[in-house]
Every structure is written in structure tokens, then in C-alpha cells.
Amino acid sequence: MPKTAAERLKDSKPEKRVVLDKDFAGVKAGQTLYVANPNIVDQYVRAIPAGQSRTIVQMREDLAKRRDADATCPVSAAIFLRISAQAAIDEMEGGRSKEDIAPFWRVLRASDNITSKLSIDRQWIDTQRALEGLDP
């Protein structure tokens, strides 16, 4: 049976920094790539204040800078952001209020590809962004 998003958050592997020996996802050989984990991405999202937003690119840049790396892995960062968002959705479906979950709508937009994989109506994301005065 597949793990739930909450289980994936809880069972996060350790973060790591890797010096690339070949180009990968826009990062050049010789540069340091930071590979976060779902828990770190979840903490990042939870730290974004109401009324503020970040793009996925900004999130990756912020995480790389904090870990003294040239870039954050775009592939794993997207996966980990989806895990954080789905865990938050699952928590809401379990009765938690949106004030008590990771505010994934401050990073994700309804038009992002990642949102198509979430078990929530994309319109809900746009509504939350509008309530906080954020661009759709």
C-alpha cells in the first residue's frame, strides 16, 4: 500500500548537497546542488506569512542560499512541495482548519502543473490567494 503524504513528510530522508559531475536540470557540472526533503519544504511553506507569496523558483533559490548551494534540485523540490500540499489537504479533510496547515497556496497557483495532481479543486487555491490579496 502506498504511503500517505503525511507518512512521506514524517519519513523524510536526510537533506544533502551534491557537487554535480555533469549538467542536470539547468545546473552545470561542478556546481553544488541542494537536495532538500519533504519536511524542509513543508517548514519553508509554513514560514511564509499571510499576504505574502513565493514562486517555486524563489523557494528553490531561498533553500539553496540557506544551504550554501548553487541551486536546489528542481525535480525533488517539486515533488516535495506536492507532498507538503497534499498532506495539508489531507489534514483539512480530516477536520483541521486552514490556519493550522501548511499554506501551500502561497507557493502554488491553480495554473501550476503540480496542482493537477492534488486532491483539491484548483479554484479553491485561487480563492485562498484572492482572500490574501495575492495574484492568481
Q: What is the pLDDT of residues 35-86, one digit of tens each?
A: 999 999 999 999 999 999 999 999 999 999 999 999 999 999 999 999 999 9
Q: What percent of the chain has pLDDT over 70?
A: 100
For residue 46, the number of C-alpha atoms closer than 13 Å in the C-beta half-sphere is 13
Q: What percent of the chain has pLDDT over 90?
A: 94
7 pLDDT band (50/70/90 cuts)? very high
Please give the pLDDT value at position 136: 85
Q: Give the separation between CA 110 and CA 95, rounded to whole angstroms.
A: 23
Q: What is the mean pLDDT of the chain?
A: 96
Binning the chain into helix, strand and coil, the percentages to the nearest 5 are: 50, 10, 40
- 32-35 β-sheet, strand order: 16-19, 32-35, 71-72
Confidence check: pLDDT of 1 > 90:
no
Q: Give the separation between CA 68 and CA 131, rounded to whole angstroms.
A: 35
Domain boundaries defined on the chain:
5-131
**50: Cβ–Cβ under 8 A, 6 or more apart, which residues?**
103, 132
